[in-house]
Amino acid sequence: MKVFKFGGASVKNAEAVKNTARIINLYPKDNLLIVVSAMGKMTNALEELNNAVFNNKNEIYSLLKIITDFHYKIVNELFKDKNHKIFSELASLFNLLTKQVNEITTDNFDYSYDQIVSYGELISTKIISNYLHLVGIENNWMDARAFIKTDYTYREGSVDWELITYLTNKILLPIYSSSKERKIIITQGFIAGTNTTTTTTLGREGSDYTASILAFALNAEDVTIWKDVPGVLNADPKYFSVTEKLNSISYREAIELSYYGATIIHPKTIKPLQNKNIPLWVKSFMAPEEAGTIINNDTDSDNLIPSFIFKVDQILISLLPKDFSFIAEENLSKIFATFVKYNIKINLMQNSAISFSVCIDNNREKAQLLIKELQQTYKIKYNENLELVTIRHFDQKTIDRVTVDKIILLEQKSRVTAQLVVKNI
């Protein structure tokens, strides 16, 4: 079986939903397990709804209306027959959501978040499943919460691999083996369930991860993530006017790229696929016949094209012991503990005898709290409004290219990776 993942952009309106049917029709013989995200920006809208439940109850009604209107506009375009069962199915989901919103008695924000935000995927999969039926593509709608099982860490559920493997083999596999005809299952990305069936989620952009978990548990033939770009690009088009597609990269390269901040694939997605040697395709939903990018064990092409990853709004903090003593292991362990305390991720670090420098995302509040605490022990110097540029498979030409009109404040190179903290002149 093949696993497909359709993200929010690929199902953002009626036209896009129709396009998913066209893509599925390109694979008339394959068993498909299709993972779908919430439509368009609906996860953000549902997040706002949960915020309103806790902070601003009088916004609830208007937010609910935005969410229902958005979906009804799509369904009205897709289903000409106003007696189609999608209308009552949607109405009952919206009733449940409204009830959920009005009946939240907990002060557990994260718990409430998962109960509310998960509706984005429940609704999108209902719409798509019904639409596919309408155009003659038979499929089974399945509730992912029945087989993607996590612990009780709301908003970042930790998955129970064994239970998921057991349940998916018990619940999903028989559907595929029930007859000779190809079968399609439609299920939700991002959402999961605990063993007492409360809803959890896997973290923002977690649908890629769902696809990968399912592929792992069911030993899928491959996974395809359908995106609004032709594949994995060597730079974000937001920062680079000319980008190149990487035709083939290894799992290792993909993990490195996402570690340094490339946003093309959810960071947790690669490991389960690598563990079972399941290829991952990244393809364009606008040009589904084109090859896209393949991610697998093959490392041969990794160094063909240099990749650029930009992180903007960085702050570079340097710590100097007040008494000119060395930065040694004990100081470092205390410094790291302070970063852990404020849950701050270090993007780059460097130390010398009497100084230690770190580059972090400039989340102003957190960064200022961190600096305040470190100032008790160290003399602190810092620089804001910086960019961190990471170049995989760099050479001098690529470094020159990203440092035009910039001053380099810090530079670090390994055999394949160069990282530069730069500032506009």
Label residue 405 exposed, middle or buried (CB < 10 Å: 0-12, 13-18, 19+): exposed
Name the minimum Å distance from CB 303 to Mg ion.
32
Name the minimum Å distance from CB 61 to ligand ASP.
23
The stretch among 81-89, 201-209, 347-355, 358-366 that binds ligand ASP (CB under 6 A) is 201-209
Distance CA 343, CA 337 (A): 10
DSSP string, 310-375: EEEEEEEEEEEETT-----HHHHHHHHHHHHHTT--EEEEEE-SS-EEEEEE--HHHHHHHHHHHH
Q: Which of residues 34-73 bind Mg ion (CB under 5 A)?
A: 37, 43
8 binds ligand ASP (CB under 6 A): yes
Task: Say which residues have a Cβ less than 8 Å from residue 295's Cβ, sequence separation at least 6.
Answer: 232, 248, 249, 250, 251, 253, 254, 265, 270, 273, 279, 280, 281, 282
Residue placing its CB nearer to Mg ion in the complex, 66 or 135: 66
Q: Which of residues 404-423 bind ligand ASP (CB under 6 A)?
A: none
Residue placing its CB nearer to Mg ion in the complex, 120 or 292: 120
CB 335 within 8 A of CB 371: no
Residue placing its CB nearer to ligand ASP in the complex, 8 or 231: 8
Residue placing its CB nearer to Mg ion in the complex, 227 or 392: 227
Query: Interface mask (CB under 5 A) for Mg ion, residues 5-34, using x and -?
Result: ---x--------------------------
Distance CA 97, CA 116 (A): 7
Residue placing its CB nearer to ligand ASP in the complex, 120 or 157: 120
37 binds ligand ASP (CB under 6 A): yes
CB 112 within 8 A of CB 104: yes
Q: Which of 3, 17, 33, 38 binds ligand ASP (CB under 6 A)?
A: 38
258 binds ligand ASP (CB under 6 A): no
Q: Phi/psi at 184 (nearest 5 deg)?
A: -125, 130
The tokens describing 294, both together, are 């393949």
189 binds ligand ASP (CB under 6 A): yes
207 binds ligand ASP (CB under 6 A): yes
Residue ranges in contact with ligand ASP by CB under 6 A: 7-8, 37-38, 43, 120, 189-190, 204-207
